[in-house]
Amino acid sequence: MSNILTHTTKLKVQFHECDPLKIVWHGNYLRYFEQGREDFCNTHGISYLHAEKYGYSTPIVSSNCEHKKPLAYGDQFVVETSFENAAAAKMIFNYRIFKEDVLICTGKTVQVFLDQNNELSLTNPEFYQSWKSKMNL
Amino acid sequence: MSNILTHTTKLKVQFHECDPLKIVWHGNYLRYFEQGREDFCNTHGISYLHAEKYGYSTPIVSSNCEHKKPLAYGDQFVVETSFENAAAAKMIFNYRIFKEDVLICTGKTVQVFLDQNNELSLTNPEFYQSWKSKMNL
Amino acid sequence: MSNILTHTTKLKVQFHECDPLKIVWHGNYLRYFEQGREDFCNTHGISYLHAEKYGYSTPIVSSNCEHKKPLAYGDQFVVETSFENAAAAKMIFNYRIFKEDVLICTGKTVQVFLDQNNELSLTNPEFYQSWKSKMNL
Amino acid sequence: MSNILTHTTKLKVQFHECDPLKIVWHGNYLRYFEQGREDFCNTHGISYLHAEKYGYSTPIVSSNCEHKKPLAYGDQFVVETSFENAAAAKMIFNYRIFKEDVLICTGKTVQVFLDQNNELSLTNPEFYQSWKSKMNL
């Protein structure tokens, strides 16, 4: 079976997200990615609050965004968030933003697991491993 | 002696703070006020971290901003933050932003004290009362 | 008949909107108000893009927010945006944010009309007066 | 002589830049990079306003950030912005953020030149080529 889990979030560009070039300020795409990721995580039962409940935080250690086309004020778009199954103790998500069928940008974020002492977890925390098993990942 | 303590912070408008009208998005003035307030508080030894150390948080319960003139990308300006001595258990600050000698906007924020149980403190916490005494307020 | 037009927008608190107190940073309520206002305006055919088409911009000259209760990460809430019929050439909106039936905050914004020369319009622009007539305001 | 131009900007973490984990929200590092880049550009006479004057905009087409350590509220840090001399018609900047001598993160942004018709410029605009010559790049 497929190792790819994908979730789609519909959003609309807000006025305060646009810059003097009348397009979405590039840094705001990380907000859209976050919104897509959280939507994915809530849908699949693996949210930030889950991690916190088990004593872990999941800070982002790497992010990138490749812009193909701009988004402007009022544009409606979708964030497609895909889970990438990693061998290491990391949560990796890939993103694609589309306006109708036009690819606006792609991106990726990598998160690690920190325990209650802010120590990096070198193996998957149990709650995360259970989730992966449940999802057949 | 004067009951007014004032502090001045110099700032410059950043690109991402401006909107499609090519002026600072109105909500960003609350950031400038915060920067002015924190500057004031650090200078006078009464910062957020002080409050936290004594078991209090100081959430904002009221804020407003009256705009006279816009600020544009690259503008240099000053935030003038003034402490208003309140009888009640509140921290009140008034703000004026100037670009050269032109008044850009005025504003006000009100903060209350919450203890470790998130209960509203009806009297000034001791650490705050001590600070006021020290400042002759 | 009623002179009050109201529109309701459903939103959810995002992670990046929260501060170290684990609640929504106070300045972000102005984003929620904007989202409510634009939703209202798009629904009733009087958006920012309408104004722009007729040669006007509608900057905010006054905003305020009174906080009753905090919102935390993941909270779902509604922004209730109400149009206040003003005699002067101003657009005034009042806001109330609710989480379930609990009032979280109230707020108000005032906008003026600037023409293409950035001159303040002392009377209602024609496009706006037409809209008001159409809405029986 | 060296082909590397570097500029250093001193900043301080603001309260509203921090998230519920009490560290700077990852997306805000793009603001710090922007502040460093604009500082660089103003210092070296090649700012956004220069580009605009000559009929060009310089949107960001790629950005990334690799996080090594977090920054927390109140931390003072420096953004080191370095110009990377590219053969293609692109402006490339690399960033390193340090807190005292500790490396906090690294990053990179790539910008292209769009002319007044929003067409991608395949060669360096004249104003940019002149600047490069002047800088011996």
User: The domain containing residue D46 runs over which residues?
Assistant: 5-132
Tokens of A91: 């949560």
Q: Give the tens place of pLDDT for each residue, B83-126.
A: 999 989 999 999 999 999 999 999 999 999 999 999 999 999 99
Size of interface C-D (CB pairs under 8 A): 24
Q: D1 to chain B nearest CA, in Å?
A: 32
Best mutation target, D15, D18, D19, to test chain C (most C CBs within 10 A): D19
Q: Which residues of B touch C (CB under 8 A)?
A: 21, 23, 26-28, 30-31, 34, 57, 59-67, 70
pLDDT of residue C37: 97
- As a whole number of angstroms, the distance between CA B72 and CA B77 comes to 10
DSSP state of A73: T
With CB atoms and an 8 Å threshold, state whether C20 touches D22.
yes
pLDDT of residue D1: 38
Which residue has better confidence, D46 or B6?
A: B6
Q: A1 to chain C nearest CA, in Å?
A: 32
Chains that touch B (3 or more CB pairs under 8 A): A, C, D
Half-sphere exposure of B116 (CA within 13 A, CB side): 4
- Average pLDDT on C120-127 reads 95
Closest Cα in chain C to D72: C20
Count up the domains in chain B and report the number.
1
Q: D135 to chain B nearest CA, in Å?
A: 23
CA distances from B106 to B17, B33, B120, C26, D89 (A): 18, 10, 28, 17, 44
pLDDT of residue A96: 98
Q: Is D54 helix (H, G, I), strand (E, B) or coil?
A: coil
| Lowest-confidence pick of A65-69, A107-111, B1-5 | B1-5
pLDDT of residue C4: 67
pLDDT of residue C1: 38
Give the distance, in angstroms, between the CA of residue B23 and the centroid of all CA atoms in the same chain.
22
Question: What is this structure's pTM?
Answer: 0.95
Instruction: Give the confidence band of A119 by pLDDT, cuts at 50, 70, 90.
Output: very high
pLDDT of residue D49: 76
Q: Can you give the C-alpha Rg of chain C in angstroms?
A: 16
The length of chain A is 137
Closest Cα in chain B to A25: B16
Tokens of D53: 């004057």
Q: D113 to chain A nearest CA, in Å?
A: 13
Which residue has better confidence, A5 or C3?
A: A5
D89 within 8 A of D51, measured Cβ to Cβ: no
- Average pLDDT on A64-89 reads 96
B24 within 8 A of B95, measured Cβ to Cβ: no
With CB atoms and an 8 Å threshold, state whether A21 touches D57.
yes
Q: Give the tens place of pLDDT for each residue, A25-72.
A: 999 999 999 999 999 999 998 887 788 889 999 999 999 999 999 999
- Counting Cβ atoms within 10 Å, is residue A4 exposed (0-12), middle (13-18) or buried (19+)? exposed
Q: Which of B15, B34, B73 sits opposite D15 (nearest CB)?
A: B34
Closest Cα in chain A to B17: A19
With CB atoms and an 8 Å threshold, state whether D15 touches C20.
yes
CA distances from A91 to A112, A124, C137, D27 (A): 6, 10, 54, 17
Domain for residue D137, yes or no? Answer: no
Q: Give the tens place of pLDDT for each residue, D40-58.
A: 999 998 887 788 889 999 9
Q: Residue C13's domain is classified under what CATH number? A: 3.10.129.10
